[in-house]
Chain A
Amino acid sequence: MSDATQPAPPLLEVEGLTVEYRTGRAWTRVVEDVSFTLDRGETLALVGESGSGKTVSATAVLGLVGRKGGRIAAGSIRFRGRELVGLPERELRRLRGREVAMIFQNPMRSLNPAYTAGEQVAEVARVHLGMGRRDAWRKAVEMLDAVGIPDPERRSRDYPHQFSGGMAQRLAIAAALCGSPSLLIADEPTTALDVTVQARVLELLRDIQQQTELAVLFISHDLGVVAEVADRVAVMYAGEVVEHGAIEELFLVPRHPYTEGLLGSIPVLGSGEPLRSIQGTIPPAGSHGAECRFAPRCAHAQPVACAVGHPGLSVVGAGRDVRCHRATDLHLEGIAR
């Protein structure tokens, strides 16, 4: 990380991020010691079940944790080398939508039902690009066109409920990219969509990335979708990163049993193998003791070692980290892409 010869810092650097939420009088840790980096034009996927802390990590990047009754207890988030943790709200606001944008799981719910498509996109242009009413509107129509919404002139006057799911997500992407950000956080952007529509939205994201060097922080529970878009993957479990690596390596040779489990639940066409799913559920935040958090669900857990010590994240290769006591002696089953 601290390579002196490297002149420019990575676009996004998250280090030791720990986020807590208020539950009654106490604070509960939902994200603990999460680190990752992201460069221009790159796509990093944060993968995990719901409750693993992936969305919270992403909202922390936008500085929105406080809005939701949480706080960043430790760690740093650097964007273009600039520290975001502790930055005043004014400065953060200038960043949101302009440098870092976000799209959400359910496009219908993330678009304001009371305003037209054009109004929602144009608002970003007015706020961040300082455009007048008319210029902003023209920019909005351009954006709708750019994300592949047919007949943008007319559609810009429609309300979100008049859009189909796929078109609504395109609209959300248009609004997100209107301020020409360099980082897009995509929180399960295709989960709520039909499979065929999913593929087209992913294709759109890839096209945009190629044209604009946009970096994408892609949040998903589905390694199948991740395989389509990501360069690198960070697998999260119970608020921690449990495995991190380049996508091919991680798919071929998973080093963490949880990753193996997630890979097992991807349907492979014509393989004839039954899908495996991971038994049990994520333990609730705040209930963790000093054991491996995945141990209760782990097929490879050993009675003493895994139940007593909390494994640290250890480097097992170039850009490859694993949080497992048995990282060196396990041989897990991956899948070929």
Chain B
Amino acid sequence: MTRYALRRLAVALPILVAVTFCVFVLVDLAPGDPAAAIAGEHPTAERIAEIRASLGLDEPLLQRYGSWLLDALQANLGSSLANGQAVTDAIGDRLPATLSLVVVAMLITLVVGLAAGLVAALQHGRAADRAITAMASAAIALPPFWVALVLVMLFSVQARWLPAIGYQPLSAGLWPWLSHLILPAAALSLLPMAEVALQFRQAMVTVLRQDYITNAEARGLTRPRVLGKHAAKNAAVPVTTVFAYRFAQVLGGTVAIESVFDLPGIGRLAVTSVLNRDIPVLLGLVAFTTLIVLVINLLVDISYGYFNPKVRT
């Protein structure tokens, strides 16, 4: 099992290096000179050259990537062109809001998605199944940020049940924290939820037809035990795949959702960095989010080993 995990890790690391390198090259091709941008209005040529040197911009590309990577390995992603803040600090400041949002969204995704998928699978071919399948298929076509706007209109502007914007840290209390996250997380989770529901339904329908399920019934096991233990573990594999795949999207989706709800998270940071053309921050964000996605994928790969013993060997 450990060897299996290490093997997956060996595949993941080169991807991270390759991704950051490509983005690094891409950024290098960008028109415009960041040094000129930093130097402010009416800079002298010497001043620009000085900044260039201090940013290391006069070195060859490979060398610059090498030193960026070395720094990155020591958790140093450079500093923002806009305000000089260390990129790791900038990300660190914004992390709690995004993390809270993503965790709550993924929880909603799993709970509602799995429940809906299970009900549909058990009611296979009947009205409840058709309704859930139709709703999930439609939900996939809903743009998340629009859902966010509609949720705000319904629950904050008209009903005034939940706050429309802002963020409260968990230290401010569970409810203040959660109440600010319910609407954004709901909007963010709609798409992955629908996909998890559809996938879990399909997987359960397939698994429930298997001989080993009939066998479990024939051994006199209770229905919850047959479903929860014998069926679910086998149906989990395709669901984890979707879940992991969607995780990257959810992380990307925070960009729009955080803008709607004015959450001080990584998505907002990305938008402001784009508008400021704050390349070090963006580069850091790419590296950071890719790392998270790769870690999630790694965990999922390892979970395959748990759910499906065949892949271990």
Contact = CB atoms under 8 A, between A and B. Distances in A.
A–B direct touch, CB within 8 Å, in complex? Answer: yes
Interface of A: 59, 62, 64, 67-68, 92-98, 101-102, 104-106, 109-116, 123-124, 127-128, 159, 161-162, 172, 175-176, 179, 185
Interface stretch (B141-149, B158-166, B216-224, B256-264): B216-224
Given A62-B218, A95-B220, A124-B219, A111 B212 contact: yes
A102 B218 contact: yes
Contacts of B215: 102, 104, 110-112, 172
B210 interface: yes
Nearest to B210: A109
- The DSSP consensus for interface residues of chain B is helix
B247 interface: no
Nearest to B226: A67
A64 B214 contact: yes
Contacts of A106: 211
B212 A94 contact: no
What are the 7 A-B residue pairs with the smallest beta carbon separation, nearest first? A96-B220, A97-B219, A97-B220, A110-B211, A159-B309, A109-B211, A102-B218
Contacts of B309: 113-114, 116, 159, 161
Q: How large is the interface on B (under 10, 10 to 19, 20 to 34, 35 or more residues)?
A: 20 to 34
A94 B310 contact: no
Interface string B212-252: 10111111111001000010011000000000000000000
Nearest to A102: B218
B308 A113 contact: yes
Given A161-B309, A161-B310, A113 B219 contact: no
B179 to A, nearest CB: 39
A101 B219 contact: yes
Given A113-B234, A162-B313, A175-B219, 13 more contacts: A59-B214, A68-B214, A93-B222, A96-B217, A96-B219, A97-B220, A97-B221, A109-B210, A112-B230, A113-B308, A113-B310, A128-B220, A172-B215
A110 B212 CA distance: 4
Contact of A64 (B211, B218, B308, B313): B218
Contacts of A105: 211
B219 A114 contact: no
B65 interface: no
Contacts of A94: 220
B234 A112 contact: yes
A93 B220 contact: yes
Contacts of A161: 309-310
Q: Which of B216, B217, B221, B234 counts the most chain A CB atoms within 10 A?
A: B217
B21 interface: no
A102 B217 CA distance: 10
B310 A159 contact: yes
Contacts of A68: 214
A127 B214 contact: no
A159 B1 CA distance: 14
